[in-house]
Structure 1
Amino acid sequence: MREILKLNNLSKDYGIKGFKTRVLNNISLSVEEGEFLSIMGPSGAGKTTLLNLLSTLDKPSKGEIFLDGIDLTKVKNKELSNIRKDKIGFIFQDYSLLDNMTLMDNIALPLALGRKRTKEIEQKVNKIADIFGLTEHLKKYPYELSGGQKQRGAAARALITRPKVIFADEPTGALDSKSSTDLLECLKRVNEENNATIIMVTHDAFCASYSKKVYLLSDGEIKCQINKGNDRKEFYGKIIDLLATLGGAK
């Protein structure tokens, strides 16, 4: 397997000199292409901060982040924008779909901005819509869709350019249990069939059980890692036990 993401001694401080708070402390991590991993931990552990650093939405106070061999900490803003466009996909909790565009146009937007041909765009949208169970909803506008359909649409949009890494921040946080399961099954399928690399922040053990690996973050440091094995229910139980040792994941 090829290494797609590497962190070396990553730290993040907030505040001014003399009044700084360290949120992340010397984190080192290697992610191989095709991994599906979850980052969990108590409130204030630094989960979202870590995701923001990895996805180029924020810069570390020290350390290195290599994405596909590129040191993101040394890249200028213009090149960073191109890296976001070409190599990174985002799935947010609030969907972030454009209300004045159909679902098809929302999903197609990254390809349209990349000036791909209309026929190629249609083929790719139809293919990924089928994976996410959205084919019959492509002509609808966001206000005509359920929360689960919107989130699957947002996930399809994030994946349509085949980015190197997909970052998901609490993707099931606003969904009911059935919609959550539908989305997670789709992400699992994309990971297994398309070798998509997915890094997900979640407080939900059920959600995390769909990944292949879980990292537990506490006090700004990675305390431990557990791997899935063959049984998701058994993995879910291990995650619950692990979270109990730290008093939960909220």
Structure 2
Amino acid sequence: MTSVLQVIGVQKDYGRKGFRTKVLKGIDLTVEKGDFISIMGPSGAGKTTLLNLMSTLDVATSGQIILDGTDLSTVNHKKLSAIRREKIGFIFQDYSLLDNMSIRDNIALPLALGRKKTQKILDKVEEMAQLFGITHQLDKYPYELSGGQKQRAAAARALITNPSVIFADEPTGALDSRSSTDLLECLKRLNETTGATIVMVTHDPFSASYSNRVYMLSDGNVKCQLDKGESRKVFYNQILDLLAVMGGDVE
């Protein structure tokens, strides 16, 4: 397989000289094209920090993050913005939909910002809406939708540009059990049918069981990796066992 994202010896410190806190202490991680991985760990392990670094929302203190062959530390702000717009999709816990725009326009926004042709945008929005089962919600506004529908709209927006990687930060954190399952099933189906590459931070073993592998962070390091076999149920139980062995509070 071809790697789409490489994290090499990444460290992240916060604070001023003499009062610095090391959050990440030398992370090595490779994400293959078409993979679906989860990053887990106790509170303060550095999960969200790592996600922010990989998704260009923050800058590493040292080490390399290579996305589609580009070392992110070597590009200027303009190029970084282009990479963020063209190669990265985001799914956040709070949906981040614009309340004054219809769901259709929210999903279309990344393509509109990229100045794509109108008919191409409309066709792609319809395609994404069908994939996520929200065709009948396209002319509604975010406040008219359930949490699950809003999150599926956010996922459709994240995928509309065919990004190299989709980063999902606790995507089921604000959803009920049924909505969580619906979203995870959609993401898994997209991963399997379109080859979408997904990197998800989650505290939830059930959500993590939909991925192909789990990386467990603790104290700023990757402590272990767990790969899924054929059964999601078995994988879920293995994740629970791993969390029990590691101990500590998982968010």
**TM-score, normalising length: structure 2:** 0.98
Instruction: Kindly report which structure 2 residues correspond to 1:119-134, keeping only aligned pairs within 5 A, or say none.
Output: 119-134=119-134
Unaligned runs of 5+ in 2: none
Deviations 1:100-122 (CA, angstroms, capped at 9, x unpaired): 11101100111111111111111
The answer as to 2:205 corresponding to 1:205 is yes
C-alpha distance in structure 2 between counterparts of 1:189 and 1:128, whole Å? 13
Corresponding residue SS for 1:210:
coil
Task: Verify the 8 A CA contact 1:64 1:73 in the aligned structure 2.
Answer: yes
C-alpha distance in structure 2 between counterparts of 1:22 and 1:11, whole Å? 7
Corresponding residue SS for 1:161:
coil
Instruction: Kindly report which structure 2 residues correspond to 1:20-99, keeping only aligned pairs within 5 A, or say none.
Output: 20-99=20-99
Deviations 1:117-147 (CA, angstroms, capped at 9, x unpaired): 1111111111111110101111101111000
| Offset at residue 12 of structure 1 (A) | 0.3
Aligned to 2:195: 195
Task: Verify the 8 A CA contact 1:107 1:156 in the aligned structure 2.
Answer: yes
The answer as to 2:116 corresponding to 1:116 is yes
C-alpha distance in structure 2 between counterparts of 1:87 and 1:122, whole Å? 20
Corresponding residue SS for 2:233:
helix
Counterpart AA for 1:30: T
**Paired residues, number:** 250
RMSD of aligned residue pairs (Cα, Å) = 0.7
| Offset at residue 246 of structure 1 (A) | 2.2
**TM-score, normalising length: structure 1:** 0.99
Aligned to 1:245: 245
C-alpha distance in structure 1 between counterparts of 2:59 and 2:66, whole Å? 13
Task: Verify the 8 A CA contact 1:10 1:62 in the aligned structure 2.
Answer: yes
Deviations 1:68-97 (CA, angstroms, capped at 9, x unpaired): 000001111111000000000000000011
Deviations 1:4-46 (CA, angstroms, capped at 9, x unpaired): 0011100001111111110001111111100000000000000
Counterpart AA for 1:64: Q
Q: Percent identity?
A: 68
The answer as to 2:172 corresponding to 1:172 is yes
Task: Verify the 8 A CA contact 1:42 1:246 in the aligned structure 2.
Answer: no
Deviations 1:155-188 (CA, angstroms, capped at 9, x unpaired): 1000000000000000000000000000000000
C-alpha distance in structure 1 between counterparts of 2:37 and 2:3, whole Å? 14
Corresponding residue SS for 2:17:
coil
Aligned to 1:145: 145
C-alpha distance in structure 1 between counterparts of 2:129 and 2:229, whole Å? 30
Structure 1 stretches (4+) deviating beyond 6 angstroms?
Answer: none
Instruction: Kindly report which structure 2 residues correspond to 1:100-111, keeping only aligned pairs within 5 A, or say none.
Output: 100-111=100-111
Unaligned runs of 5+ in 1: none
Counterpart AA for 1:60: A
Task: Verify the 8 A CA contact 1:168 1:200 in the aligned structure 2.
Answer: yes
